[in-house]
Amino acid sequence: MNSAHKFAVDKMLGRLAKWLRLLGYDTFYKNKIKPVTLLSIAQSENRIIVTKNRYFLKHPFPVPILFLNTDTLEKQLLEIDDKYPLQKNKAFSRCPLCNNATTPVEKENIKKLVPEYVFRTHECFHQCIHCGKIYWRGTHPQRALAFLEKIGLKM
Ligand SMILES: [Zn+2]
């Protein structure tokens, strides 16, 4: 049940947070947050803290802390995968912007909301239930898949 892991990603790791969400993981992220606040959110929501802040090395904390030793997105994803093997079967089921679930939408309903070319060339659309952002199996997911393959996270 690895996909059940929930993460709380520290403020300096915004890109990583988006990627965890792309993979379908429930990931808390705010770009302005104090360590103590992150800690209390992780504790009350049962999340694993992912951080590069040495503050989290200094004390024993009541939540799991994954301190990252690497600096690139690729290596950081592999570090997480090493400790908490990442499942890819939920990929693209979560909005990378706001962390809420996406749901399939009728193509006709979103006609005015996507570029005409995209509307003509795609059949399957998903929409975030919270922020309304629309996703399709277009350029972004393909780039994402290629990236995941490149770093050895097989789909
Ligand atoms: Zn959203």
Ligand 1 centroid to Cα of residue 94, in Å, is: 8
Ligand 1 centroid to Cα of residue 91, in Å, is: 15
In the chain, domain spans: 2-83, 102-150
Ligand 1 centroid to Cα of residue 49, in Å, is: 22
DSSP helix/strand/coil, 150: helix
Across the 155 residues of the chain, what is the mean pLDDT of every consecutive 10-residue run? 80 95 94 95 97 92 95 93 86 91 93 92 92 83 78 68
DSSP letters spanning 127-146: EETTT--EEESSHHHHHHHH
pTM given for the model: 0.86
Q: What is the pLDDT of residue 153?
A: 72
Ligand 1 centroid to Cα of residue 95, in Å, is: 5
Ligand 1 centroid to Cα of residue 128, in Å, is: 5
Ligand 1 centroid to Cα of residue 24, in Å, is: 13
Q: What is the pLDDT of residue 31?
A: 92
Q: 151 — alpha (psi -120 to 50), left (phi > 0) or beta?
A: alpha
